[in-house]
Amino acid sequence: MNWSALIVFTVFFIFVTVLGFYAARWRRGDLSLLDEWGLGGRRFGTLITWFLLGGDLYTAYTFIAVPALMYGSGAMGFYAVPYTILIYPFIFVVMPRLWSVSKKHGYVTASDFVRGRFNSSSMALAVAITGILATMPYIALQLVGMQAVISAMGFGHSGLSGELPLIIAFVILAIYTYSSGLRAPASIAIVKDLMIYITIIVAMIVIPIKLGGFSHMFDAAKAALATKNPPGSLILGSNSFFAYGSLALGSALALFLYPHSLTGVLSSSQRNTIRKNAAILPAYSLVLGFITLLGAMALAAGIKVQNGNDAIPELFLKMLPDWFSGFAFAAIAIGALVPAAIMSIASANLFSRNIYKEYINPQCTPEQESKIAKLISLIVKVGALVFILFFPKTYAINLQLLGGIWILQTFPAIIVGLYTNWFNKWALVIGWFVGMATGTWMAFSQHMASTYPLHLFGAIIPGYAAIYAVILNFIVTVVLTFIFRALGLANGKDQTTESDYRTAS
């Protein structure tokens, strides 16, 4: 047991726990209403939204898995850096429209918007199910990141010693999320991001110095990658260009379709808050580039682990003082709690608003709707915890790869729907189904790998299965829209008007 690291870790974990319970009093609102519990009353300004979206997107699994990919295969691990750069112009242009129309009509979820835009309860249900399905393994993977740092401090990967700290941490998370709603992760995100920035700054200075400088570090990492099976490289091979680019593009398009990302957007107080955040969020991309470099540092430091997720915790223990490793581990663990809380809240919002209220109890009161959301947020967390404790972690990792494929199939209804309702609602449903089925088949046919070797005109083009599936989704949706319109099948009344997408408040 590394007691120095454990003591520092425990102190900071207790601090954020107290902060999470106190958050119920912060910007006090009626937490018996879904708008207040699930969206923080839509009152978060530029600074809080920046930390909240950062907490959404830069998670414990990002801190562990992105450098682990670099550690295992080399240059391909950097695909996460350009995709986070691509996403911010997209946010600047698109997301203010969603915020405006949602504010105007009281939409809490993307499914609410789809229901109003296309008058389609079926497509709204499809978006809700997809969102919950794609989010669940994401929550489980936050536990993978937390478990990696708990194990590094001496608790082990399995057995009561390894599982009890994880259970305690998630029970605490479940309680303060239930009591404080979105205010809890919003307040904790500030602490988490500051700790991550401090950790990265120290690591970028101290570790390269101990490794003999960046030049020596890259030379040693290059040599270590060459010994991998299959060999890795710091330079991307020409046969990987399209796979790399499609992974970056597909991940960028999918990122703000996830329910937790949209929850962060809709909780903003003003339309311009989103645009300001799109301008300053690239600071996180700089940090992500440094995080990715940790994988090269682990290679250069001679870290040998069976599971790549253990590489960065072992790197910190080897190259940094024990007490600072405890600080870094606390940053990573808190980086698991924040997104896990937001993800569970977003999933609960979808279930309560678009499944429970729509199909189970249409006459439910706002208080009942909020109560169901709180209960579902607990169930989602328990489900993720059970999954991690009793199933091989590779299942969660593989399912997460499917998450991006699945969530991108809602792009035509949500993103294109923000600009036009030309698509026929039944064409959208069928296109979604075809995209989901095709993308899932591609992933399973490649043993859950995220890239699929497409055979086209005698050439083999390996690319992200999500891109191939959504292209097919679009083709089916467009063709069927023409057919259904020719048959006289039109959408119902659109609840929105063009001015709704431009309102400032």
Query: Residue 270 sits in a domain of what CATH number?
Result: 1.20.1730.10
pLDDT for the residue numbered 281: 81
Decide if 383 contacts 399 (C-beta within 8 A): no
User: pTM for the whole thing?
Assistant: 0.89
pLDDT for the residue numbered 422: 92
pLDDT for the residue numbered 280: 85
CA angle 359-361-363, nearest 5°?
120
Q: What is the full per-residue pLDDT of the chain (505 aa) written as tens digits?
A: 788 888 988 898 888 878 777 765 666 666 777 777 877 777 788 778 877 777 667 777 778 888 888 888 888 888 888 888 888 888 899 999 999 999 999 899 999 999 999 999 999 999 999 999 888 888 888 888 888 888 888 876 566 666 777 777 778 778 877 777 877 777 788 888 888 889 999 999 999 999 999 999 999 999 999 888 888 888 888 888 888 899 889 988 998 899 988 888 888 888 888 998 888 888 888 888 899 899 999 999 999 988 888 889 999 999 999 999 999 998 888 888 888 888 888 898 999 989 999 899 988 888 888 889 889 888 888 887 777 777 666 666 667 778 889 999 999 999 999 999 999 999 999 999 999 999 999 998 988 777 889 888 878 888 999 999 999 999 999 999 999 999 988 888 899 999 999 876 6
Q: Which of 480, 459, 478 is nearest to 470 (CA)?
A: 478
| 3-state secondary structure labels for all residues of 83-114 | HHHHHHHHHHHHHHHHHHHHHHHCCCCHHHHH
CA distance 306 to 303: 10
Total of domains in the chain: 1
Domain range enclosing 409:
3-501
Strands (E), 131-233: none
